[in-house]
């Protein structure tokens, strides 16, 4: 192995390095706990149950992209705006709960995996795809 590649982490890992994944999971748990315990004094956040399915960390661990989804998928924009308003408080709470050298900046995004999964599911139920699937199973028999 050439000298310049030895010990270098693989950037092709899905979701980042092992450390990014581990810290992202710690931040996800911290944000979930803060939101579920009602520590944020905001009427919008108090009126919604918010799921935090994923947190992606930047390679230097200074930026955390927090993917959120309100229960039922309604009022997503309103919830993200409320989270952005309370970003400073949430960052401080995450800093107390997760032992890192620097508290990561938090960036909130809507989690669109559920919408994407539903779109794929609808696509798989179309007559053209069903016809192709049935045609393939007839060939195997």
Give the pLDDT of residue 141: 55
Distance CA 128, CA 67 (A): 34
Q: Taking each helix axis as running N to C, give the angle between helix 76-85 and helix 87-97, from 0 to 180 degrees, rounded to the nearest 10.
A: 70
Structural domain tally of the chain?
A: 2
Whether the pTM exceeds 0.75: the reply is: no
| Residue numbers of the chain with a pLDDT score lower than 50 | 1, 6-7, 10
Range of the domain at 124: 112-141
Q: Is residue 5 part of a domain?
A: no
Q: Supply the Cα-derived Rg of the chain in whole angstroms.
A: 20
Give the pLDDT of residue 48: 87
**Domain co-membership, 62 together with 25:** yes
**Domain co-membership, 135 together with 125:** yes
Q: Is residue 3 part of a domain?
A: no
**Domain co-membership, 104 together with 125:** no
List the one residue out of 5, 19, 24 whose CA is nearest residue 107: 24
Q: Is residue 86 part of a domain?
A: yes
Encode pLDDT of 91-124 as tens digits: 999 999 998 888 999 999 998 877 777 788 888 8
């Amino acid at each position: 192995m050439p000298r310049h590649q030895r010990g270098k982490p693989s950037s092709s890992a899905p979701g980042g390095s092992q450390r990014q994944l581990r810290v992202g999971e710690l931040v996800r748990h911290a944000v979930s706990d803060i939101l579920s315990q009602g520590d944020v004094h905001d009427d919008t956040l108090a009126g919604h149950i918010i799921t935090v399915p994923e947190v992606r960390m930047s390679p230097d661990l200074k930026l955390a992209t927090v993917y959120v989804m309100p229960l039922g998928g309604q009022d997503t924009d309103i919830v993200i705006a409320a989270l952005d308003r309370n970003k400073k408080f949430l960052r401080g709470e995450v800093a107390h709960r997760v032992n890192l050298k620097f508290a990561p900046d938090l960036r909130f995004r809507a989690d669109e995996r559920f919408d994407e999964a539903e779109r794929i599911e609808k696509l798989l139920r179309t007559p053209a795809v069903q016809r192709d699937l049935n045609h393939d199973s007839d060939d195997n028999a």
